[in-house]
Amino acid sequence: LSCCGSRVASVSADRTIKLWDLQAKRTTINHSNVVSSCCFNGNGHFLCTASWDKTLKLWDLQGGQFRSRGGTALQRGHEGSVSCCVLSADGDLLVSGSYDRTVALWDPSSLCRTLVLRGHSDWVTDVSLSADRKLVLFSGCHDDALAVSLQCEECGRPFPVSRLLTSDLLTRCVFCRLKAPPTFRLPPSLSPCPSPLIGGERSDA
C-alpha cells in the first residue's frame, strides 16, 4: 500500500504484478520467475519489485507509461533469488535481501549496487529501513540471526554489527573509531609529565 493510500500493489508466484488504482486495473507481467516482494517509496511515485529471477525492477508510476515500457531491471546484484526489498521514503536508497545469504544496498538513480553485506548462514527473508536512515537495515533469516547495519555518523558509510555485547548503540564504524583520539587517560607511570606522582602526596615544601 502506498503512503497516500491511492495505490495497492500485489505480487504473486504466477510471475505477475498487479497495481490497483483508479486509473487502471490491469496486470503487468515483467519478470521471468516468481515475484516475491514489492515496495513503494514515500510519495508512491516509484515501485520496486523483487523476483526469483535474481533481479529487482524499478517502476516509474507517474504518467502510466510503465504499462507499455515495463520496469527497469537492476541486474548483477544477487547470485540467488531476491526475496525482499525496501525503498527509503525519498527513494534515494534501496535495500534488498536474497537467498544467496547477502543484503545489497543500491542507488536507484544510477541503478548501481553500492554495498553488499554478508554474514548470514542461511536465506535472508526480510529487510527493513528506519525513517532517519541511521539504522540502515535489519535482516531476518532462517538461521535465527539478526544482523544490524548502522550508518556511521562520521563518514556516512554503513557498517555491519552482528551482535551487540553491551546496551550501548554503536554510532561510528571501526575505521572512524580508530582514527579518533583516545578518550582515556594514561596511568601515572605512562604520563608524559616530567614528574609523575606515583603514590603518596605531593609536598609543597
List average pLDDT for each run of 10 residues in the chain, which is 205 residues long. 71 79 58 87 88 91 74 85 91 91 89 84 84 66 65 78 53 80 55 44 43
Q: What is the pTM of this model?
A: 0.67
- What pLDDT shows up at residue 52? 92
- What pLDDT shows up at residue 37? 92
Using CA atoms, how far apart are residues 138 and 159, in angstroms rounded to an integer? 12
- What pLDDT shows up at residue 199? 38
Cell numbers given for 166: 553491551
- What pLDDT shows up at residue 184? 52
- What pLDDT shows up at residue 121? 80
- What pLDDT shows up at residue 167? 43
Task: Delineate the domains of the chain, giving CATH numbers in brackets.
Answer: 8-182 (2.130.10.10)
At 168-204, the pLDDT tens digits run: 556 777 788 888 776 555 555 544 555 443 334 444 4
At 69-87, the pLDDT tens digits run: 778 888 788 999 999 999 9
